[in-house]
Chain A
């Protein structure tokens, strides 16, 4: 079955830039989506179609794609950004969807 690979954890100091990667063979063909989930809460979409930001999401959140890897970048990280982040995409056929294992972002 298709898999997306994320680092389990990323740590960054306030005001610095956090980069969370997500790798998968089909990412050259399928868009990626990124979600933020805080403890006890439902996930929130922060980036869609690789690099589009939904309304209401701060500009410090951005996305990019290069080959089989997509990256979520959070510029000027704030304490409130501490959360789990998940990437999502589809397999090469576009039929089945999958989430990455998640990355815990810690703001030091």
Chain B
């Protein structure tokens, strides 16, 4: 059974940092693109970043470029999102998601339950 479990969310002040983690199990982690998606309270889904199976390619939405870094550790079957210089508009539930098909970049076949990040003073 595919499982994705996010952790690391919480309350942080504007300008602060937070590192989200996603523990993956039930599939061959090193065969899939992985993605972070966020959803602000009462709003729609927003794609944040994704990373290739071997970590060699990473892409970000413009609003987080230079502030967020996506990474992965295949030895630990884990995905990460380092978030720096956080802003109030980064407040959202952050979801970790796995690709649909092995080796293919697009789409989210499985999702975690999400972790809430609140940026507020």
Chain A residues within 8 Å of B, Cβ to Cβ: 1, 30-31, 33, 35, 37, 42-45, 48-49, 54, 84, 86, 88-90, 94-102
Contacts and interface: CB of A to CB of B under 8 A. Distances in A.
Contacts, number: 67
Interface string B16-39: 000000000000000000010100
A97 B114 contact: no
A101 B47 CA distance: 12
B45 A45 contact: no
A9 B109 CA distance: 24
Contacts of B100: 33, 45, 48-49, 54
B44 A99 contact: yes
Contacts of B113: 42
Contact of B108 (A45, A94, A100, A101): A45
A45 B107 CA distance: 9
Given A1-B62, A97-B50, A102 B107 contact: no
Given A43-B95, A86-B44, A97 B106 contact: yes
A44 B111 contact: yes
Given A86-B44, A102-B44, A43 B59 contact: no
B61 interface: yes
Nearest to A95: B59
Contacts of B110: 45
B47 A97 contact: yes
A102 B45 CA distance: 8
Most buried by B among A1, A42, A84, A86: A42
A90 B106 contact: yes
Contacts of A35: 45, 108
B105 interface: yes
A56 to B, nearest CB: 11
A90 B47 CA distance: 10
B23 to A, nearest CB: 15
Contacts of A31: 106-107
Contact of A30 (B46, B106, B112, B114): B106
